[in-house]
Structure 1
Amino acid sequence: MGVAIRTAGEADRELVVRLLDAAFQDDPVSGWVFPGEEYRRVTHPRLMAAFTDIVLTAGRIDVTEDGAACALWMSVPAGADEDDEGLARIREAVDPENERVESIGRLTARIHPSDRAHEYLWMIGTAPERQGEGLGTALMASVLDRCDREGRPAYLEASSARSRKLYERLGFELVGHPLDLPEGPRMWPMWREPRG
């Protein structure tokens, strides 16, 4: 049985924010950006809302028809630069006193390949009670199939060893060196060449 997937619109904003918030509450990188469970519970949704708004405007969000999982994609042109002002605006809107809100964007931008146009999986999240059912794989497969047809590579940063293994099964490989966040967890930049 296949997974029904549709493109999210403005009416899906709150659904996507809730999904991402729930999916990433226990993520190592979210824990680094927002240390402390109560602080993260209160503040983390604002970052997920900022990310959702950016991708609704400039990218594409795919969501499973049952609303249990979503994937945020951006088409990145060759030579794209880091948006320092955008990172500062996100920090100001989300948590002005927390420099990690801005620095996570700067650190990942430094390792993000910029020499070739590609599809960038910014985030993918599944409701915690539905993880392990293949929803994330189904969400990614639809875009990766298109990448293969169009000869376009894809890129992401894995934020956990578990997600890294999933991405490897889908054809992603480590590119460059892992990113060790200051006094925090490791992230893995991963690249996937289109399959012929």
Structure 2
Amino acid sequence: MTHSDHDARVRPAEPGDLPLATRTLTRAFADYAFTRHVIAADGHAARVARFQELFLTHIGMPYGRVWVADGSQAVSVWTTPEHDPGPGFAEIGPLLNELAGDRAPYFESAEQVLEPYRPREPAWFLGTVGVDPGSQGKGLGSAVVRPGLIAAEAAGVPAYLETSSERNVDFYERLGFTVTGTVDLPGGGPRTWSMLRRV
């Protein structure tokens, strides 16, 4: 299947897509090193699901851009310089803290050590992207990320992301990102890469 076939199945998310999109992201992040480190183990899957749902409904949809592919089997959630997501984060901050549970201090310290690597200039920030485990390896990940890259390029701003998976580093490098920082998260957390795609 060519890229264009996939890209034809990528579209902006609508409110009706959110339950499935949440499920996809929850399944994709079920055993992700970063979420394991910053979200409590007790009821972990349910916490991750609520975390992703809050990010989709309170950040991505109102302040950023969300794309889905193949019936929400792949999802990308971006924040953009056009709309400051600060109010959304302020609103859900206490809830995220609650979801982090006994890992809240690790969540906070991860944010603190990653902050210096985040772009100071306007940038598109790939907040979360996931492909349902049953649909991986079909090119859906790059297909669902690509509209954000095109839009960032059109706006003349870089795209930025963070990943705690070495395998993802190669994937994003193929999409034009370069590593701008490598951080071992405090408290025995995973190595996390900051990556920027310059215009």
Quote the offset at 1:10 in angstroms.
Answer: 1.7
Aligned pairs (5 A) from 1:37-186: 39-53=43-57, 54-76=59-81, 85=90, 88-92=93-97, 94-99=99-104, 100-114=106-120, 116-175=121-180, 177-182=181-186, 183-186=188-191
Q: Tell me the TM-score normalised to structure 2 length.
A: 0.83
User: Within 5 Å, which residues of 2 pair with 1:7-18?
Assistant: 7-18=12-23
Which residue identity lines up with residue 15 of structure 1 in the other structure?
Answer: L
**Structure 1 counterpart SS, 2:119:** coil
Contact kept in structure 2, 1:16 and 1:70, CA below 8 Å: yes
Distance in structure 1 (CA, Å) of the matches to 2:113 and 2:14: 29
Gaps of 5+ in 2: none
Q: How many positions carry a matched residue from both structures?
A: 190
TM-score, reference length from structure 1: 0.84
**How many Å separate the matches in 2 of 1:80 and 1:70?**
19
Deviation at 1:170, TM superposition (A): 0.9
Q: Which amino acid aligns with 2:163?
A: A
Amino acid at match of 1:45: A
Q: How big is the shift at 1:16?
A: 1.5
Q: Percent identity?
A: 29
How far does the alpha carbon of each residue in 1:154-180 deviate from its partner, in whole angstroms, 9 at most, with x for none?
A: 1001220011110011110111x3121
- The structure carrying a bigger helix percent of its residues is 2
Residue pair 2:162, 2:193 contacting (<8 A) in 1 also: yes
CA change 1:46–1:105 in 2 (3 A) is: farther
CA distance in 2 between partners of 1:166 and 1:105 (Å) = 23
Please, which runs of 5 or more residues in structure 1 have no aligned partner?
Answer: none
